[in-house]
Structure 1
Amino acid sequence: MKRFLIILLLPIFASGTDVLLERVPESGVQPQIVTTSDGTLHLVYLKGEPRGCNVRHVTKKPGATAWSTPHTVNSTLGSAVAAGTIRGAQIAVGKDDSLHIVWNGPGGKQQPAPLLYSRSLTHGVTFEPQRDLRADTQALDGGASVAASAKGEVFVVWHGAPADSGPGEINRRVFILKSTNNGQTFAAPKIANADDPGVCACCSLKAFVTPSGELLTLYRAARSMTQRDITLMTSRDGGETFQHRDVGLWVVNMCPMSSASVITTGKNTRAAWESEGRVFTSLLDTTSDAVAVSPDKARHPALAINSRGETLVSWSVGTGWQKGGQLAWLVLDSGGKPTSNRGLKPGVPVWGFTAAYAEGDRFVILY
């Protein structure tokens, strides 16, 4: 309760920044967006049957008023999963504006769910045939993530169980695959949290490479049945060693099927995540406090930063299994303080959540 009071007691500053709402093309769900060096927006989303859908990709160049014609990323049709809201595609920009996309595939009783990856070296004009990177790891569940650097490093990060492990969340580990040649090949999977076991089975994680080259990963730990803290895992040596610290505490005896968001500008990196049924945000340094920006029933945060240095935090409200809901947002000023620019609107579809991007000093929320 103390964290929630922090946000209510902070002074509220006025903000005249426009916040526009935009439906995902083709009425798709689970949008994820990145920007390449020329300012082009690259948007991926899911379209089709919830348990066997497709990853779709569109672009919008600076000054354009409409998205490009959609095309399918996955080379095997129906090989993505929208059900559960946390197993969809994540996208990263790498060397020479290459695009790297990872998603969970559907599994069955006799066939483990695959961890699928594709890349584009043609700025999204074409994508290579999908590859299953799961290797011999087991029990793929919560959504995987991908991060890339301008040096040609690509990191695919997910959680599962080693091949010889027993059942239970305490036996789950965070795995990392690293490529040093821009996704052409990957080394063998490496366990990143061997000294801190336990991962919440059906929560997705978020990986990110900062401008200084640090690999950051946010994931929900499960060191016991009731401990569901958000953990920040940091590697400063290209995925060789890792440090861990908890940034969001949550005592609850369930898996919340949650996701997180990370964004950087200049020297600052900001994250947003769900804890205690609310959305929290903080700079990822050792001195900033996490503050709640939402009331209850808030999920799946997204972040965007505009030309003024303001930050938009958007999230879903009241969504759940086979249940849509509302979208909400709050704008933080350039110093990270909440403004009066906040809103709540209906429209988040079943299996959907929001993404956000900036056009100059205004924000756009995709839902």
Structure 2
Amino acid sequence: MKQLLLSLLLPLLAFGTEVTLERVPEDGVQPQIVTTSDGTLHLVYLKGDPRGSDVRYTTKKIDASSWSAPRTINSKPDTAVAAGTIRGAQIAVGKDDSLHIVWNGPGGKNQPSPLLYTRSVNRGATFEPQRDLRANTEALDGGASVAASAKGEVFVVWHGAPANATPGEINRRVFILKSTDNGQTFAAPKIANADDPGVCACCSLKTFVAPSGELLTLYRAARSMSQRDIVLMTSRDGGTTFQHRDVGPWAVNMCPMSSASVISAGSKTRAAWEAEGKVFTSLLDATSDAISVSNDKARHPALAINSGGETLVSWSIGTGWQKGGQLGWLVLDSAGKPTSTRGIQPGIPVWGFSAAYAEGEKFVILY
């Protein structure tokens, strides 16, 4: 009888992936995590006045008990923006485990907001002085993004307006800066959506170099006041030409101040975004359908993939302007199907959201 009982319990005990929760060091907000080839986690987040924050940086080896002592990596103090939740630092790993970080800086009266960038070519030991890459573009608002490849390509992507453009979302464009020398220099900004204009002003975008080498960018369009679809923009030739397709339709007459997430494992790339007040996720291929993984009032998704091929999706619930909320999460199995491993936890701070990473088969959510 004991043997039969044990055999019935074992599948239940084995079912359900472990998910642990952890606050961002220093009670920071807007965490972003990448992993270098040696297994080190590199975490950036914002700390300080919401309108004049610092970008903080710390590292941890997988399975280590604590993060390293955090340090500030913006060379000029108080030059990051936490207000709005979508203008914080984004980080990418490039050639030889170089680190590339971009963030929106605060503007002022008659002073446009800068697009700030720094890099480390020694795996985070030191960071270069920050640079403003905005060039002659205007109206920087929603957060920028950065992607990098092992070949030394670095792509900085943001949306704004060409110089002297007529104000309005329909005149906003997605701009791309490309470096072929690992971020040492960049070519002039290039408009990537000239044939499909209109970008939602205060939503961030997400760019990513897929294992195939394709440059993928998710952004929220604004072709009209009542249309806010998520667009997947793909470049198969290193940022020379671009193709577009809608992946997340949403007919709404407002700017949702949203963000998106992208991650790869093997040859598959998965994205998550907000539409209709819910978080959706899908593989970024021609045949996969998007599925909703949340209830209402969900936003700011994050993704992680564990050693078993499972995917964790986490998100914020009920957050808004100067308003914190709850953390939600769900684990998808290796086939991308929702499992029973899900949860809700209070504690997302004002201007905060979550990030996630895997330790073997276990997931950790930072919030």
* TM-score over 0.5 for the pair: yes
**Counterpart position of 1:109:** 109
Residue in 2 aligned with 1:4? none
Provide Cα deviations, 1:297-331, integer angstroms capped at 9, x if missing partner.
Answer: 00100000000000000000000000000000000
* Structure 2 residue 45 is matched with structure 1 residue 45: yes
Runs of at least 4 residues of structure 1 off by over 3 A? none
1:241 and 2:237 are equivalent in the alignment: no
Partner of 2:348: 348
Q: Could you tell me which residue of structure 2 aligns to residue 27 of structure 1?
A: 27
What per-residue deviation string (whole Å, max 9, x for no partner) do you get for residues 116-153 of structure 1?
00000111111000000000000000000000000000
After TM superposition, list the pairs within 5 Å mapping 1:1-367 onto structure 2.
15-367=15-367
Q: Return the index of the structure with the highest Cα Rg.
A: 2
C-alpha distance in structure 1 between counterparts of 2:248 and 2:364, whole Å? 27
Of residues 14-23 and 335-344 in structure 1, the stretch that sits farther from structure 2 once superposed is 14-23
Number of equivalent positions? 354
Distance apart, 1:262 and its partner CA: 0.2
Q: Which amino acid aligns with 2:253?
A: N
Residues 35-73 of structure 1: per-residue CA shift (max 9 Å, x gap):
000110000000000000000000001331100000111
TM-score (norm 1): 0.96
Give the secondary structure class of the aligned counterpart of 1:134.
coil
Question: CA RMSD of the aligned region, Å?
Answer: 0.7
Render the CA deviation track for 1:330-356: whole Å, top value 9, x for unaligned: 000000000000000000000000000
In 2, Cα distance between the equivalents of 1:68 and 1:122? 16
Residues in 2 aligned to 1:284 and 1:73: alpha-carbon distance in whole angstroms: 33
The 1-side partners of 2:15 and 2:285 are apart by: 26
Distance of 1:88 and 1:181 partners within structure 2: 25
1:212-232 deviation per Cα after TM superposition (whole angstroms, max 9, x unaligned): 110000000000000000000
SS at match of 1:109: coil
Matched to 1:360, the amino acid is G
Distance in 1, Cα, partners of 2:118 & 2:28: 20
Name the CA distance, whole Å, in 2 between partners of 1:233 and 1:70. Answer: 35
Contact 2:233–2:242 (Cα < 8 Å) also in 1: yes
Cα deviation code 1:166-204 (max 9, x no counterpart): 010000000000000000000000000000000000000
Per the alignment, residue 11 of structure 1 pairs with none
Q: What is the deviation of 1:15?
A: 3.9
Report the secondary structure of 1:21's partner residue. strand
Q: Is the 8 A contact 2:63 2:359 kept in 1?
A: no
Q: Which runs of 5+ in 1 are unaligned?
A: 1-13
Answer whether contact 1:15 1:339 (CA < 8 A) is retained.
Answer: no
What amino acid is aligned across from residue 252 of structure 2 in structure 1?
V
Structure 1 residue 16, shift from structure 2 partner: 1.8
Question: Percent same amino acid among aligned pairs?
Answer: 83
One-letter amino acid matched to 1:169: E
Determine if contact 1:87/1:143 at 8 Å carries over to the other structure.
yes
Aligned residue identity for 1:92: A
Q: TM-score, normalised by structure 2?
A: 0.96
- Greater relative contact order: 1 or 2 (C-alpha under 8 angstroms, separation 6 or more)? 1
Which amino acid in 2 is paired with 1:225?
M
